[in-house]
Structure 1
């Protein structure tokens, strides 16, 4: 469990409150932003429909991927401990201690970069679906910047960096306008990379980093980052959201998708919907072989098997237990840790819901869930803390108002 406080109170905390079945994906871009009234609720469903295409011109070719250096932040120097030295006798302690310190400093300076980089590295990471940087709800991009500053991440993956068309439904939801990633990066003083290639795992994404971005992966799903001499890879994914299996299980109308009664039906449909995107990611993941650390962020548009458990179903949090295939591939086949669930192992007490901020949990035309993830993989990786960033407590551990997105963000602090 993570704690929270309100600024101005005396309690200490690590978090703060700040102002501020289908056979496969359909052949059209879609998002669960379909506005409908199918007799279940007077409130419109805010689940968005979108996938498959990641750009504005509708072609499958790459449109000039952007690798941009914005304001470069100061380097954080690391002074490692030098090699061991034999003990000294008592009567000459002071001068010899000075020589010891000097020898240590010289030895540290002479160490190659790879050896110095072996010191533990601590990073704050964040996954944030920014909903067009607030543009889809008429909000200024400064609100998105404020939400990111509240976390002060070293690496942040941004999803939905471009506005969506109006209407945005199952028939058409190709992103419109320019990405706001560069503007956000400039305000933060970060390096940034816009993911402009089109494939089933992307929809208007970007990766921002406090540290230099070296190069992208072949399928545009990730980048290599130089973190004080250590090779770190960060991937940002936006997986297809149609058909959306929680709706199918709960009888919530969403496009031409059938309703399900069993977990097996939901799992089969989820594999068909997101399997191709995950296969593409697994190909791109090979670029990170030998890296010091790998992080995967994104709007997966599918819950986790760690959340839809028998215990959660018994407590009424989910309709039944489901072994969701995408999270199983991430934690099993790919060997990643779900950073939020490592720090918050009880899904009954800490569900960590990221979808959605635009309806109440009691709204029968929607279903709140955790679909935005931060995954990590590294030798000796430890999760120091992890939480949710959003508009109000108790859903969010870090509260930021006003809140610009229909998703809450996920953050974690790790050491490796």
Structure 2
């Protein structure tokens, strides 16, 4: 295991920094040349302790968990992982047990859960990749959220948008997570979730930006982030950067210069930039959020063009190749034990 820097506070409690990375790796990095190697290199560079993967496919019957652990070991880094499908978990710390909490079925998303022993503190860590169909964020932008065909007009009726949103399986997945996480909290475990939710945040579609990013006047209480907030979970990015105008925190679609733009844009005539990748955690006196950053290129894709939005977001820009069409989220916590 990699060495941990342990400090002591005035109460003589031990404190370590725990880095959590949420990372949609776009079909295991296979879409981008040398993409898998880029995934490995970004993990090493960020020195992340807990990683939540989206788009684990186990192509050609090769166990991705074994493949990534061996690749990191070859470069001198010890991690732990267990087999999974669609979502995956990688940890510097031993995995006590892992389950498919919300198993993938007909490509309607999944949540993988692991109980991880972090120097004696048990963390329930969840990796989510939620249903990509009925992706209602496209409706106000004039596109169907399942076929991505252009609509005759934009949809701005919030009730219709919410109805379409609930026709996905995202709410079922999030409700399963909340119920399970509440049980883990009762058992005294820390809870952290990282996921590509394929749904925006209610904290991002507000009055102040209703005429930006092709929201077309829509202010909407997006169901799943609102439900997480209602049950006490905190959005790590918005805890640090509460203003979505100065810090929109877009994670998709990312401008990957190695990929033709027609493979990056699903609604080519619209501005569909949004924050759909998240790290959530449940507050606990043992877990203090320090900072959150976006890992990935500064640029985005909007209206079939590569754009650079002047924002105050803090980026960790890619080393060389960037392996995905998403940006990742990196949150650092102080863990007391």
TM-score between the two structures when normalised by the length of structure 2: 0.77
SS in 2 for 1:246: helix
Q: CA RMSD in A?
A: 2.9
Establish whether residue 180 from structure 1 lines up as the match of residue 71 from structure 2. Answer: no
Change (3 A) 1:131 1:81: closer
Shift of 1:369: 0.7
Q: What CA distance in whole angstroms lies between the structure 2 residues aligned with 1:185 and 1:121? A: 23
Aligned to 1:50: none
Which one of 379, 384, 394 corresponds to residue 290 of structure 2? 384
Establish whether residue 250 from structure 1 lines up as the match of residue 126 from structure 2. Answer: no
SS in 1 for 2:192: strand
Shift of 1:134: 1.6
Residue pair 2:20, 2:51 contacting (<8 A) in 1 also: yes
Q: What CA distance in whole angstroms lies between the structure 2 residues aligned with 1:218 and 1:181? A: 14
Q: Comparing 245-254 with 277-286, which one deviates more in the overlay?
A: 277-286
Shift of 1:378: 3.1
Q: What CA distance in whole angstroms lies between the structure 2 residues aligned with 1:341 and 1:120? A: 24
SS in 1 for 2:31: helix
Aligned to 1:403: 322
Establish whether residue 223 from structure 1 lines up as the match of residue 114 from structure 2. Answer: yes
Rg larger in 1 or in 2?
1
Q: Comparing 296-305 with 311-320, which one deviates more in the overlay?
A: 311-320
Q: What CA distance in whole angstroms lies between the structure 1 residues aligned with 2:242 and 2:10? A: 38
Q: What CA distance in whole angstroms lies between the structure 1 residues aligned with 2:166 and 2:100? A: 23
Shift of 1:312: 1.5
Aligned to 1:328: 226
In the TM superposition, 1:255-334 aligns within 5 A as 255=146, 260-273=155-168, 274-289=170-185, 290-315=187-212, 318-319=215-216, 320-333=218-231
Shift of 1:299: 0.7
Structure 2 unaligned residues grouped into runs of 5+: 103-111, 256-260, 300-309
SS in 1 for 2:14: coil
Change (3 A) 1:317 1:260: closer
In the TM superposition, 1:195-214 aligns within 5 A as 195-196=84-85, 204-214=86-96
| Aligned residue pair count | 292
Aligned to 1:127: 22
Shift of 1:80: 5.8
Residue pair 2:124, 2:191 contacting (<8 A) in 1 also: yes
Aligned to 2:278: 373
Residue pair 1:132, 1:180 contacting (<8 A) in 2 also: no
Change (3 A) 1:218 1:398: closer
Establish whether residue 337 from structure 1 lines up as the match of residue 229 from structure 2. Answer: no
Q: Comparing 386-395 with 254-263, which one deviates more in the overlay?
A: 254-263
Shift of 1:283: 3.6
Which one of 228, 246, 250 corresponds to residue 349 of structure 1? 246
Which one of 154, 159, 165 corresponds to residue 49 of structure 2? 154
Which one of 32, 43, 49 corresponds to residue 137 of structure 1? 32
Establish whether residue 415 from structure 1 lines up as the match of residue 334 from structure 2. Answer: yes
1:204-227, Cα deviation, whole Å (9 max, x unpaired) = 111111111111246262111111
Aligned to 2:78: 189
Larger fraction in strand: 2
Shift of 1:357: 2.0
Q: What CA distance in whole angstroms lies between the structure 1 residues aligned with 2:211 and 2:270? A: 22
1:15-48, Cα deviation, whole Å (9 max, x unpaired) = xxxxxxxxxxxxxxxxxxxxxxxxxxxxxxxxxx
Q: What CA distance in whole angstroms lies between the structure 2 residues aligned with 1:159 and 1:256? A: 21
Q: What CA distance in whole angstroms lies between the structure 2 residues aligned with 1:192 and 1:184? A: 8
Q: What CA distance in whole angstroms lies between the structure 1 residues aligned with 2:46 and 2:191? A: 20
